[in-house]
Structure 1
């Protein structure tokens, strides 16, 4: 047997510029993990144990962003005549012509490019596609499983490793009968007729030759624990390499990048006044009680959110009628405003956000760093549906390295939100995180309460002399104190 996988491509350089940002070298484009997912193709006879092996891989990888994509959902929609034949077990589902390979290639290509993709569910009892859809987004590992998984060259070209499950046809028949009768509403006679007429001949003619396309052949299916363990170890090794490369690229974003804070028009730092310095002093003091911390952080949130709303420019003139028919020219926001919270740090802004705009639509993103590698992972995304263009206020109370915020902005961009329509609101922001943000997304707007410095202190906006290495900018504590989980 042989085993191989493709290496990761290097990051594509971006040449986009923004007026106030200078670059000493070409800007690096951020590449989230789901734009280069690791794709595993698992083919073999019907009933060979492909699904069981796929589930075993998912269980052992133990990652919520692993997706099982079944070829069974890509059978062609049947005409009424074909459907009658299928219900009578007289329709051939096991030849390549029965499957919509064009659609399968299209969907896998969409997933490989990191796009949000909808898959239509196929019903084997009705022998037709249903109205049910399941949506895939943010998958780091994709397992394509089905009898035709290794058949089309276009699919093979997208795979990182190709596996053929080679099981004796008599064993496959026994498994298929159990599955079809118990789970797919077939009768014994019809299932046997279909096996003899279509399944077995096509297995020999079309399926078995695809073994030549496999990097790894697993005889005896799920019983071959040695081969399955080797496969899982190989996949874990490749994912570890991919994870390490992702972290290295994130860390490199903030280096060799000249940035002028004073002249950057889309960076807004809360002015340092006796009022704001007093609030900072209470929030950052270790003697502050939790009730006082919540009260004063809400006050700070109000200031930051109002500052963010002041950056909006999409207004139109309207005639306002007052008491006794007095009128004047007022303004009305023309674009919808949507708030997106990076759980759970961003939730600290929710009270103030709802007071500022009571009926604002709210989205949620759960991005957490891996405990062992430090790599950020997208666990959940829930964004409000929009019919027109909108401004997005992204909320994250504290940014240390910026990896989570960069990933959050990339999620919005993947959902067709323009950079210039994103306003990031943050209370504590380190300079290294800011550099990474503006290197990747130079056209976003950032509103920050307190910005630290990585090396030289700039007292024009950092009178306290905070450094990136100081405790408040090196430890995540805002959400813990706010929600009382510390």
Structure 2
């Protein structure tokens, strides 16, 4: 049987870790050497991810990296920047606190991130995005100043402790007693004294870590927007160009409807892509066999306000077999999410599974997406833009509302 690791074995293992071992570039290409565009070198987007031990930081980072599969991303772990211990510290290593800010070589970490921001290679190639992950990455102001976005993963203390116990027992061969001893002596005091106070510096707080898919999706959307802006000299996404046109206060109603129609086509086509389908073979005019797909015919389309009316009055009826159908729910703007929740609740009460409802809208607010997806986690939301400035006083919101009926008619026409 392998020898059980003691707490001293564990800290010696930490003390002997080589610097930079946490740097990895899951999506970097072997030929990439530096970031540049028509205007010269550009700096990558730097995101810090902090939180308590076993809060799910690494899971969040991995999920973001997976969704940014078409960008070059470098993940730097703060654990790779522990400073070397002195001879005297090694003699009393069981008393050494590896969760204290003094345990890290912050100067080396700063130098590494600054080189990566300047497009230089540091054991990995240059990148579009740098993720710096660790319990204390927000503690030092100089490190914080390098970050474009700061994320704090906020997970219940009991959940974190349970994960820590399970991880240390399975991966490090430790017993419960030694894990709890180290947690009470070093980990919890460091969290209360250094990690938790740094939460105030976060731009985004993710409750429940990797379980919060909605929050991670919003972060990825923001990153894609920022990375797209970096590439704006070479490539402007078509839907961003059309949103630029329809958000111009000088645009005519005719042009607004025309370009909104184009955007709605994209939304509807994407929504239809979520419909179930079966394989189907057809004979072509040249008498050859083509194997394609046949989409489900049992679908129904509703503007959201019609469903809300059905909620409020007995004179509006939904199809009797609606529970057997897939539903496209249409609305121009997903703002607070309150009306959407009422409509979706009625459909669910009528027997429509959440997973059979696809909510289409032209523009969404983050709070609306959170509100709807938190209550109906199996629902699919398809939108052409997430507008962080959506409110009752904004010009764009007033334009959306003033033309809502026109656009909803267009959405239905696409089907």
Higher strand fraction (1 or 2): 1
Give TM-score, length-normalised by structure 1. Answer: 0.39
Query: Which has the higher Rg, Structure 1 or Structure 2?
Result: 1
Higher helix share: 2
TM-score when normalising by structure 2: 0.46
